[in-house]
């Protein structure tokens, strides 16, 4: 114990504290001034580290992206954790896209789940079970993420030789299983398929079936949109934002940019679909003027349509670059192609015989599948899919005979099969369609034999719009809900028949020049004439004369009016008509005429009187005059004696 005398006084304690704190401050100032800041930080870290409490926990971070490449582990962990949701979970993420049947429940980013380690393999299995096939567009620089591919095509629904189907499935299975084999023999783990055959034979459907079977995503690349080979390399990269922003500089030094900025090709690109346009058809295309095509579509599709319209126009103007096969070869064999996991390339073309043979060798196109016209086996698959007929039907024999002597595509027959729910009605429709098709084909073949080579080639080439075709029924077309697509053109005959096949243009409506019924509708709208009017008979005659023009000029398009049933109008007809027409009716006719399609462009010498006549008469007179001039010319060629008689 300290005696009272020995105890320090309050004042001495205070003075000791004051001198101690002065010394500390002095030392601190000296430390700050003498020891450099960096050394101070390091000393502090050492001290902190020494005093930090030890933990048995370790934190693993699974980020969504690894640089530019997506992190596969993130998806696996996300799926795995969603199986660990309990009633105690406080915050969950709920998603459901339009085409998904079930809602997806995921752990929200802020949520914490405690779980003991169960192995990544289990998570991987879960991921594969839940995998929704995605579709990515490689041709557009604006698209950022893939969308769920909800294509209903499977190997069961494909109308194809069952043996061939089995071969394809076995081939896919064996390819997937043989990772070690490929490694052992020093071969890149990739496989190329070439699907070739006429339009509408199921190439796109087969790709969707393959992707659904393997649960592989599809990366869609339209070769026509690729400007150079480095474009292709870059286009397989997963990060669309990076591509969009670097697009300009990539054009200047694409390879360098590729190797420096995007060293990792995507590991997710597994089924790559490449549509190879036909070089020959493309070069022909430039000779033909492109036919303007106007789109009408529901709002949500408009932007997409516009995008595709410009693509289609591009296609029509730009010929396929001459070194296209070199680019493709680079693309298939280039170094990037060996990076990543298993990959399947699927190439489609309508004309295998026009492709560079270098492209076709095994290693590039390992499997070549000819998608051909419909066989009876294929028809039975379609009848099962569409009509639920799984056994025999009495119509089958007749249909078999017709299919055997006809080149008919599954797409055409599929269209017939959708026309009614009544099995008998539909099968009768199929029979009629096959008969009609046979007759049509015979006629076309006869017609083509008479023509010389150039015309035949030009006819075959037509206007091909591969971008548009892809839009109409490429894998993208199955996304979204019900839709109606309407295409309008002034020259149907210039369109590629591929565009016109059922499944693309299911219904074709010929908007023709007016009939008297059409005129009556206009008269009712503009003039409130709902009954007959004395002038109608005469107008009818005149309108029918214009109709004759169309029959003559659009021979082969089919019309109910025969060519020889109407007389050639005399010029007096129009003058008389002008005298009789009341003013209001003249205006109504003018309005109706201005909404009509433009008249065919046959040069017509201007009549000196025409400027004094009301505009309507000029229109009608010109139309009639054109008929007369043209027909007289034709007549003159065949029978000079008939000149000037004015009959057809």
Ligand X SMILES: Nc1ncnc2c1ncn2[C@@H]1O[C@H](COP(=O)(O)OP(=O)(O)OP(=O)(O)O)[C@@H](O)[C@H]1O
Is position 352 an interface residue for ligand X (rule: CB under 6 A)? no
Is position 201 an interface residue for ligand X (rule: CB under 6 A)? yes
Find the part of the chain contacting ligand X (CB under 6 A) among 3-11, 107-115, 203-211, 630-638.
Answer: 203-211
Number of Cβ atoms within 10 Å of the Cβ of 319:
16
Which residues have a Cβ under 8 Å from the Cβ of 139 and sit 6 or more positions away? 220, 221, 222, 225, 226, 235, 311
Selected from 498, 577, 593, 616, the binder of ligand X by CB under 6 A is 498
Selected from 75, 137, 139, 204, the binder of ligand X by CB under 6 A is 204
Is position 203 an interface residue for ligand X (rule: CB under 6 A)? yes
Q: 320: left (phi > 0), else alpha (psi -120 to 50), else beta?
A: beta
Measured between alpha carbons, how far is residue 77 from residues 64, 94, 132 in Å?
10, 17, 16
DSSP per-residue string spanning 592-623: HHHTSPPPP----PPPTTGGGS-HHHHHHHHH
Find the part of the chain contacting ligand X (CB under 6 A) among 151-159, 164-172, 252-260, 330-338.
Answer: 151-159
Min separation Cβ 589 and ligand X, Å: 44
DSSP H or E segment with residue 392: none
What gap in Å lies between CA 277 and CA 282, rounded to an integer?
A: 7
Q: Which is nearer to ligand X, 153 or 566 (CB)?
A: 153
DSSP H or E segment with residue 562: none
Selected from 160, 271, 312, 430, the binder of ligand X by CB under 6 A is 160
What gap in Å lies between CA 286 and CA 240, rounded to an integer?
A: 32
Is position 277 an interface residue for ligand X (rule: CB under 6 A)? no
Which residues have a Cβ under 8 Å from the Cβ of 306 and sit 6 or more positions away? 295
Min separation Cβ 410 and ligand X, Å: 3
**What are 119's strand-pairing partners?**
none
Find the part of the chain contacting ligand X (CB under 6 A) among 120-128, 198-206, 531-539, 616-624.
Answer: 198-206
Selected from 441, 457, 473, 631, the binder of ligand X by CB under 6 A is 473
Is position 158 an interface residue for ligand X (rule: CB under 6 A)? yes
Selected from 265, 410, 475, 514, the binder of ligand X by CB under 6 A is 410
Min separation Cβ 300 and ligand X, Å: 21
Among all residues, whose Cβ is closest to ligand X? 202
The answer to whether the CB of 447 falls within 8 A of the CB of 277 is no
The answer to whether the CB of 229 falls within 8 A of the CB of 336 is no
Find the part of the chain contacting ligand X (CB under 6 A) among 217-225, 406-414, 545-553, 633-641.
Answer: 406-414
Site map (CB under 6 A) of ligand X, residues 500-529, x = contact: ---x--------------------------
Q: Which is nearer to ligand X, 259 or 418 (CB)?
A: 418
Min separation Cβ 200 and ligand X, Å: 5
Min separation Cβ 110 and ligand X, Å: 44
Q: Which is nearer to ligand X, 326 or 437 (CB)?
A: 437
The answer to whether the CB of 200 falls within 8 A of the CB of 502 is yes
What gap in Å lies between CA 579 and CA 526, rounded to an integer?
A: 20
Measured between alpha carbons, how far is residue 81 from residues 94, 116, 127, 132, 312 in Å?
14, 11, 11, 18, 45
Q: Which is nearer to ligand X, 71 or 157 (CB)?
A: 157
Q: Which is nearer to ligand X, 204 or 330 (CB)?
A: 204
Which residues have a Cβ under 8 Å from the Cβ of 67 and sit 6 or more positions away? 264
Is position 581 an interface residue for ligand X (rule: CB under 6 A)? no
Find the part of the chain contacting ligand X (CB under 6 A) among 141-149, 158-166, 229-237, 261-269.
Answer: 158-166
Q: Which is nearer to ligand X, 141 or 433 (CB)?
A: 433
Is position 387 an interface residue for ligand X (rule: CB under 6 A)? no
Near ligand X in 357-386, by CB under 6 A: 371
What gap in Å lies between CA 79 and CA 270, rounded to an integer?
A: 20
The answer to whether the CB of 557 falls within 8 A of the CB of 610 is no
Which residues have a Cβ under 8 Å from the Cβ of 284 and sit 6 or more positions away? 457, 458, 460, 461
Selected from 159, 168, 232, 589, the binder of ligand X by CB under 6 A is 159
Min separation Cβ 315 and ligand X, Å: 14
Selected from 127, 308, 350, 464, the binder of ligand X by CB under 6 A is 350
Min separation Cβ 506 and ligand X, Å: 11
DSSP H or E segment with residue 486: strand 486-488
Query: Quick one: tokens of 108?
Result: 């929200």
Phi and psi angles of residue 370, each rounded to the nearest 5 degrees, phi first = -90, 115
Q: Positive or negative, the Cα torsion across 136, 196, 500, 162?
A: negative
Selected from 76, 172, 221, 414, the binder of ligand X by CB under 6 A is 414
Min separation Cβ 161 and ligand X, Å: 10
Q: Which is nearer to ligand X, 463 or 498 (CB)?
A: 498
Enumerate binding residues for ligand X (CB under 6 A): 157-160, 199-205, 350, 371, 410-411, 414, 469, 473, 498, 503
């Amino acid at each position: 114990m300290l005696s009272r005398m020995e105890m320090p006084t309050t004042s001495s304690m205070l003075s000791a504290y004051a001198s101690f704190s002065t010394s500390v401050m002095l030392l601190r100032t000296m430390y700050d001034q003498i020891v450099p800041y960096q050394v101070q930080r390091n000393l502090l870290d050492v001290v902190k580290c020494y005093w930090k409490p030890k933990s048995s926990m370790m934190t693993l971070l699974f980020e969504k992206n690894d640089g530019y490449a997506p992190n596969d582990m993130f998806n696996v962990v996300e799926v795995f954790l969603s199986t660990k949701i309990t009633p105690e979970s406080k915050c969950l993420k709920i998603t459901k896209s339009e085409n998904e049947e079930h809602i997806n429940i995921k752990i929200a980013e802020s949520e914490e789940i405690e779980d003991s380690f169960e192995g990544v393999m289990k998570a991987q299995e879960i991921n594969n079970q839940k995998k929704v096939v995605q579709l990515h567009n490689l041709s557009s620089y604006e698209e950022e993420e893939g969308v769920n591919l909800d294509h209903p095509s499977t190997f069961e629904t494909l109308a194809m030789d069952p043996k061939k189907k089995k071969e394809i499935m076995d081939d896919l299975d064996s390819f997937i299983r043989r990772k070690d084999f490929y490694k052992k023999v020093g071969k890149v783990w990739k496989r190329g398929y070439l699907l070739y055959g006429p339009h509408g034979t199921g190439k796109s459907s087969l790709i969707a079936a393959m992707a659904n079977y393997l649960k592989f995503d599809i990366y869609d690349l339209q070769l026509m949109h690729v400007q150079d080979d480095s474009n292709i390399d870059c286009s397989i990269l997963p990060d669309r934002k990076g591509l969009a922003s670097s697009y300009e500089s990539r054009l200047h030094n694409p390879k360098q940019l590729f190797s420096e900025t995007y060293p990792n090709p995507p590991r997710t690109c597994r089924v790559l679909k490449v549509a190879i346009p036909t070089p020959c058809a493309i070069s022909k295309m430039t000779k033909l003027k492109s036919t303007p095509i106007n789109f009408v579509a529901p709002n949500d599709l408009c932007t997409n349509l516009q995008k595709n319209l410009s693509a289609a126009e591009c296609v029509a103007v730009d010929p396929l670059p001459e070194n296209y096969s070199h680019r493709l070869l680079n693309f298939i064999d280039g170094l990037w192609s060996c990076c990543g996991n298993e990959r399947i390339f699927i190439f489609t073309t309508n004309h295998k015989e026009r492709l560079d043979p270098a492209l076709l060798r095994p290693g590039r196109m390992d499997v070549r599948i000819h998608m051909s016209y419909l066989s009876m086996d294929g028809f039975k698959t379609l009848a099962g899919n569409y009509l639920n007929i799984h056994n025999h039907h009495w119509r089958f024999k007749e249909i078999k005979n017709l299919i055997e002597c006809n080149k008919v595509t599954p797409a055409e027959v599929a269209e017939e099969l959708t026309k009614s729910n009544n099995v008998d009605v539909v099968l009768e429709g199929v029979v009629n369609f096959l008969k009609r098709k046979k007759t049509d084909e015979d006629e076309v073949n006869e017609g083509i034999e008479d023509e010389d080579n150039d015309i035949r080639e030009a006819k075959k080439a037509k206007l091909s719009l591969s971008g548009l075709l892809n839009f109409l029924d490429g894998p993208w077309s199955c996304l979204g809900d019900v839709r109606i697509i309407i295409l309008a053109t002034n020259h149907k005959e210039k369109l590629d028949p591929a565009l016109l096949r059922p499944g693309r243009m299911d219904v074709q409506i010929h908007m023709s020049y007016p009939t008297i019924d059409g005129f009556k509708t206009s008269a009712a709208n503009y003039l409130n004439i709902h009954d007959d009017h004395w002038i109608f008979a005469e107008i009818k005659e005149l309108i029918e004369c214009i109709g004759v023009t169309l029959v003559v000029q659009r021979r082969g398009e089919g019309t109910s009016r025969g060519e020889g049933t109407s007389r050639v109008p005399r010029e007096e007809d129009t003058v008389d008509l002008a005298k009789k027409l009341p003013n209001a009716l003249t205006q109504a006719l003018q309005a109706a005429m201005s909404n009509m399609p433009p008249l065919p462009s046959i040069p017509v010498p201007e009549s000196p009187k025409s400027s004094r006549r009301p505009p309507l008469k000029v229109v009608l007179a010109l139309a009639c005059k054109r008929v007369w001039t043209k027909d007289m010319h034709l007549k003159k060629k065949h029978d000079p004696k008939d000149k000037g008689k004015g009959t057809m």
